[in-house]
C-alpha cells in the first residue's frame, strides 16, 4: 500500500453524524490528495446548514495531519472556494525529517462512541487541563458537573429526545441510518451500539416499521418515555461531566466549522488516550440553531415551540454561550463498547469522475 493510501486508511476513522462519512478522496499524485466534501442538509434534519458535516470534515483533515506525521510528512491544507454544500480541500505533503509521529496517532482507530452510562467519578484536574489544552487556540470548554448540573442536562436531553422521536423528519433519518441486528456497520449505526437493552430494541424495531406505528405508539402508549430514559436520562446522569466546546466568536464560515472539527478531534483523541469514553450530545445544540435562526425544525405543529424551549434552557445552562458552542458531549470512565460503526473500504471512498 502506498504511503498516501496508508494515511487515508487511518484518517478515514474520523467521526461523522450517523456514520455518513461526508468525504471522498481524489489522489492526484503521491504528494497531493483532494478531499471532496459534501453535506446531508437536504435529507437530514440534524445536518443544520451543513455545519455538522463541516465539523466532521475538520476532524478528517486533522486525522490526515496526524496520520501523515507517522511518515515524517508535513501537511498543507488549502480550501477551494466551492459551494457550501460541497467544500473541497487540497491536501499536500512535504517530507520533513524533523517531524515526529503525533502522540495521538495510535488513538485514531480506537476512538469511538460509547452510548451506555459511565462511572460518575469526577475527572481529575490534570485530565481536564490536558483536554482543554488539546483544543489549541480560539476554543475553550464549559464543564457541567455535579448532580444539579447533570439533572439540568438530563432535562434538556429528555426534551430533545421527545422532539427527536416525534417529528417525521427525524424518523426518516433514524429509519435510514440504523442497521438492525448488527454489531458493526460500515456505513450506518448498528442497533447494538445504540445503548438500548434487547427488549427495547425489539420493540423499537417493530415500531419504526412505519410512521403510523410511531404516531400511535407516541399518542397512546407513551412511546417516547422508555427510549428517552435509556438513551437520554440515564446516560446524562451516568457520566463524570458534560462539556461544551465553545468558539471565541460565533462561528459563521465553513473555515470556522472546519477549525472546530480539528479542535474537537484532538479533544476526543486526547480523551481516548486518557482511557475516557465520550458521547456526542448534539441534538439540543442543533435544535437551538433552528430556534435562534427562526427556521422551522419540522412540519409538525408545535415542534418549533419545543425547539425554542430547548434553546432557552441551553442558553441558561451555558450562560448565553450556546450560540458560540460547536460541540456538546458527555465524558467519563467506562468500558469500551462491544459494538460500533466501522468505515467504508478505502476503494469506496475514492472520488469517481
What's phi and psi for 206, nearest 5 deg? -70, -45
- Whole-model pTM over 0.95: yes
Tell which wins on pLDDT, 193 or 225.
193
pLDDT tens per residue, range 197-232: 998 899 899 999 999 999 888 876 666 888 899 999
Q: Say whether pLDDT at 353 is over 60.
A: no
| pLDDT tens digits, one per residue of 88-135 | 999 999 998 887 899 999 999 999 999 999 999 999 999 999 999 999
What are the phi and psi torsion angles at 72 (to 5°)?
A: 55, 40
Which CATH number covers residue 309?
A: 3.40.109.10
Final residue of a structural domain among 85, 111, 137: 111
Q: Taking the C-alpha atoms of 151, 156, 158 and 160 in order, what is their torsion angle to the nearest 10 degrees?
A: -170
Specify whether 287 is located in the same domain as 336: yes
pLDDT for res 222? 65
Examine residue 118 and state whether it is found in any structural domain, yes or no: no
Supply the mean pLDDT for the chain.
Answer: 95
CB 245 within 8 A of CB 264: yes
Q: Find the range with the poorest average confidence among 83-87, 127-131, 151-155, 277-281.
A: 83-87
Residues 6+ apart with CB under 8 A from 20: 40, 44, 53, 56, 177, 187
Q: Which helix (H) or strand (E) holds 32?
A: strand 32-37
Q: Is residue 352 part of a domain?
A: no
Q: Which of 80, 111, 142 is the last residue of a domain?
A: 111
pLDDT in tens, 243-292: 999 999 999 999 999 999 999 999 999 999 999 999 999 999 999 999 99
Q: In the prediction, which pLDDT does 81 show?
A: 77
Q: Quote the CA–CA distance of 236 and 18 in Å, as a whole number.
A: 20
Amino acid at each position: 500500500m502506498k504511503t498516501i493510501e496508508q494515511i487515508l486508511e487511518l484518517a478515514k476513522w474520523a467521526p461523522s453524524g450517523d456514520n455518513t462519512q461526508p468525504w471522498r478522496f481524489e489522489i492526484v499524485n503521491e504528494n497531493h490528495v483532494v478531499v471532496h466534501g459534501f453535506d446531508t442538509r437536504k435529507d437530514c434534519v440534524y445536518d443544520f446548514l451543513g455545519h455538522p458535516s463541516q465539523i466532521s470534515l475538520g476532524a478528517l483533515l486533522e486525522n490526515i495531519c496526524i496520520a501523515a506525521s507517522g511518515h515524517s510528512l508535513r501537511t498543507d491544507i488549502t480550501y477551494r472556494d466551492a459551494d457550501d454544500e460541497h467544500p473541497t480541500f487540497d491536501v499536500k505533503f512535504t517530507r520533513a525529517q524533523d517531524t515526529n509521529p503525533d502522540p495521538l496517532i495510535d488513538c485514531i482507530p480506537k476512538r469511538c462512541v460509547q452510548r451506555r452510562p459511565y462511572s460518575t467519578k469526577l475527572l481529575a484536574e490534570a485530565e481536564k487541563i490536558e483536554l482543554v489544552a488539546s483544543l489549541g487556540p480560539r476554543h475553550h470548554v464549559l464543564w457541567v458537573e455535579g448532580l444539579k448540573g447533570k439533572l439540568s442536562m438530563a432535562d434538556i436531553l429528555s426534551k430533545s429526545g421527545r422532539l427527536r422521536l416525534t417529528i417525521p423528519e427525524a424518523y426518516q433519518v433514524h429509519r435510514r441510518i440504523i442497521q438492525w441486528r448488527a454489531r458493526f456497520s460500515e456505513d450506518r449505526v448498528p442497533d447494538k451500539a445504540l445503548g438500548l437493552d434487547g427488549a427495547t430494541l425489539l420493540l423499537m424495531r417493530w415500531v419504526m416499521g412505519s410512521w403510523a406505528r410511531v404516531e400511535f405508539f407516541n399518542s397512546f402508549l407513551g412511546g417516547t418515555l422508555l427510549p428517552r430514559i435509556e438513551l437520554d436520562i440515564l446516560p446524562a446522569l451516568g457520566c463524570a461531566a458534560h462539556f461544551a466546546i465553545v468558539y471565541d466568536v460565533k462561528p459563521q464560515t465553513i473555515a470556522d466549522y472546519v477549525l472546530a472539527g480539528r479542535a474537537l478531534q484532538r479533544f476526543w483523541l486526547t480523551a481516548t488516550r486518557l482511557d475516557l469514553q465520550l458521547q456526542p450530545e448534539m441534538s439540543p445544540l442543533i435544535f437551538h440553531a433552528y430556534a435562534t435562526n427562526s427556521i422551522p425544525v419540522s412540519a409538525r405543529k408545535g415542534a418549533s415551540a419545543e425547539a425554542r424551549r430547548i434553546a432557552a434552557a441551553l442558553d441558561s445552562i451555558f450562560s448565553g454561550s450556546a450560540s458560540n458552542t460547536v460541540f456538546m458531549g458527555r465524558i467519563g470512565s467506562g468500558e469500551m463498547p462491544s459494538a460500533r460503526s466501522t468505515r467504508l473500504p478505502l476503494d469506496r471512498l475514492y472520488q469517481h469522475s
